[in-house]
Amino acid sequence: MQGTASTPLERIVAAIERNWWWALAALMLANALLLLYMGRGLSFFFDDWDYVTHDYGGGIHSLLVAHNGHMSLFPVTIYKVLFHLVGLNHYAVFRLVLIALHLTCAAPVFVLASRRVARVPALLATALILFLGAAWEDLLWAFQIDYLLSIAGGLAVWALLERRDRLGDVGAMLALTVALGSSGLGIPVLIGVVVELAWRREWRRGFVAVIPALLYALWYMHYGEDEITRNGLINSPGFAEDIAAAAFGGIAGRGLDWGRPIALLGFLVLLRQLARSVPISARMAGLLATGASLWLLTAAARSTISSPETGRYIYLGAVVIVLVAVELLRGMTLSARVAALAAVVVALFAVTGLTLLHNGALGLRGTSKTVTAELGALELAAARAPAGYQPDPRLAPQISAGPYLHTVRAIGSSPADTPAEVAAADPTSRAGADAVLLQLDAPSLAPLGLKRPSPLAPAPAVTALASGSQGQHGACIDLTPAPDATMIAQLTLPSGGVEIRNRGAGPASAALKRFGDAFVQLGGSVAPHKRVALSIPSDADQLQWALQLTSSSPLSVCGLVA
């Protein structure tokens, strides 16, 4: 691309080379807007709740305790600061930090690439990371601040080491400390830095790796957890290959089916280049060591509990692959036509990856809506919630009523939906809220006890009646089924509850709902010629419960005094 640009394509490429800053800024802005849109409506998810509900005793211990085997000093610190600055009802702020870290990772990718190739291919390499839809967990889930801090730290180390001065080395040491203090991804970064410095035999710069490694070792002696198992080691070779292939496929916006042949092609290209007489650079050796250790260590720890296509395992592997490719292209000049073709391929990869990003966002959003609705129900019935009660052991097993409600009170804000928001939620979320209320309030058909119908009590209101007729006297509604028919009646419950009197020879069943569309069947039934009471504790919300009665016998339903 030297000389005077003559064709339109060459002029476009030359203009981008001159105005690379604007092109990079446009890519970053487009990516940030895309992630903000994709992540709309999200709330805390899964491991996020550990940070929300557990203080681990407070103090420095709460910052140093291992999370899933990882040192999470810096992510936990960020979360605790945000809890006090913005509370629990602004998850978008947590995601803004994640997006900022993602853009922070992209910037040194461009810097490292532009030192080896022209700016147009450097921009394309950066775009591969910016629009890495396969790594959707790292792009949408704020908890992945830990991984992105480690990756950003690693990229900063590689960029600062190239300064080759004392200030750069001190900065690299601090960046490596952040990488190790944020997640286990700091370990393969450390291994890569050690290999790079040893490759150059620059022993005097060894403090860059030695000091962070010693600090990590001291932490591990007191807080470390070994996640590597015997079965994990046995499964690790094949699993490591699949994680690597998933990273190759992820760059193309695809999964393992595409990743395996792409990885094989990439491996063959690498072998061809390494077989040439050109010496292997120290950076190439360090990157290869980082990639190999990343995939092997992840496989040893996760091969028995995770899928190799898990989104959060793809990001760092993709960064390593892109930087290795840049090393292989070092000094090469691409024609305008080749650059344009590469841009088309990168754009196709980004568009294909949007499907994975979109699907991941849908899954996270669905979980967020359900869990926040269930938490809204939990807060309505907080006075009756046992400390160990779990509103959703499947979608949010980290949440127990006691620690959660304590955190909400201590911080003074809540991630839960308000009753109005629950009522406006999707059917699945509203059904989840009803399930929580029914579990905590445990309504049942019970003996009448001391409560008695009273003319002063409000009467229930019939909202729907099938195969029957109704009448009213005082606070009572009389329901009569049609001949040889089963009557289904729906009523709103007054605040004091109701007495249900079975005036016939057949049993009657009862079901309840409040926010949901479907009625939930109560245990037991109203026996022939018996009277039972149905009452539910009141709470702050004014939305009434709905009762559905199914019976072939005539019934009387009377309001009880609250």
> What integer best gives the mean pLDDT of the chain?
91
HSE, side-chain direction, 13 A CA sphere, residue 268? 6
Q: Are residues 420 and 331 part of one domain?
A: no
pLDDT of residue 4: 55
| Residue 559 · residue 517 · CB < 8 Å | no
Mean pLDDT of 14-43: 94
CA dihedral angle for residue 270, residue 274, residue 280, residue 285, rounded to 10 degrees: 40
Residue 13's SS3 state is helix
| Residue 310 · residue 304 · CB < 8 Å | no
User: What is the C-alpha separation between 404 and 274, in angstroms, rounded?
Assistant: 55
Q: Give the burial class of 464: count Cβ atoms within 10 A of its Cβ; 0-12 exposed, 13-18 middle, 19 or more buried.
A: exposed
**Beta-carbon contacts of residue 507 (< 8 Å; ≥ 6 apart):** 525, 526, 527, 528, 551, 553
Q: Are residues 245 and 104 part of one domain?
A: yes
Locus of tokens 């007729």: 469
Domain containing 86: what range? 8-364
Q: Are residues 199 and 307 part of one domain?
A: yes
Higher pLDDT, 291 or 562: 291
pLDDT at 70 over 70: yes
As a three-state string, the secondary structure of 404-458 is HHHHHHHHCCCCCCCHHHHHCCCHHHHHHHHHHHHHHHCCCCEECCCCCECCCCC
Strand partners, 555: 479, 502
Q: Are residues 146 and 18 part of one domain?
A: yes
pLDDT at 281 over 80: yes
- Is 187 within a domain? yes
Q: Are residues 418 and 465 part of one domain?
A: no
CATH of the domain at 491: 2.60.120.430
- 221-225, 338-342, 414-418: the lowest-pLDDT one: 221-225
- Is 89 within a domain? yes
pLDDT of residue 1: 45
Residue 95's SS3 state is helix
pLDDT tens profile 196-217: 999 999 999 999 999 999 999 9
Q: Are residues 325 and 227 part of one domain?
A: yes
- Is 115 within a domain? yes
pLDDT at 5 over 90: no
Q: What does DSSP assign to residue 102?
A: H
Q: Are residues 357 and 390 part of one domain?
A: no
Q: Are residues 120 and 243 part of one domain?
A: yes
Mean pLDDT of 501-518: 93
Could you say which of 426, 441, 456 is where a domain stops? 441
Q: Are residues 379 and 351 part of one domain?
A: no
Q: Count how many domains the chain has.
A: 3
pLDDT at 358 over 90: yes
Q: Are residues 180 and 135 part of one domain?
A: yes
- Is 1 within a domain? no
Could you say which of 396, 422, 441 is where a domain stops? 441
Residue 462's SS3 state is strand
Q: How far is CA 49 from the centre of its chain?
A: 11
Q: What percent of the chain has pLDDT over 70?
A: 97
- Is 276 within a domain? yes
pLDDT tens profile 286-329: 999 999 999 999 988 887 888 888 889 999 999 999 999 999 98
pLDDT at 431 over 80: yes
pLDDT of residue 58: 64
pLDDT tens profile 134-183: 999 999 999 999 999 999 999 999 999 999 999 999 999 999 999 999 99
pLDDT tens profile 219-228: 999 887 777 7
Q: Positive or negative, the Cα torsion across 118, 120, 124, 127?
A: positive
Q: Are residues 479 and 433 part of one domain?
A: no
- Is 209 within a domain? yes
Mean pLDDT of 252-258: 91
Could you say which of 341, 364, 387 is where a domain stops? 364
- Is 2 within a domain? no
Mean pLDDT of 403-429: 93
User: What is the C-alpha separation between 456 and 560, in angstroms, rounded?
Assistant: 9
User: What is the C-alpha separation between 51 and 54, in angstroms, rounded?
Assistant: 6
Instruction: Give, to the nearest 10 degrees, the angle between helix 145-161 and helix 186-200.
Output: 10
- Is 3 within a domain? no
Higher pLDDT, 261 or 562: 261
pLDDT of residue 202: 92
Q: Are residues 296 and 247 part of one domain?
A: yes
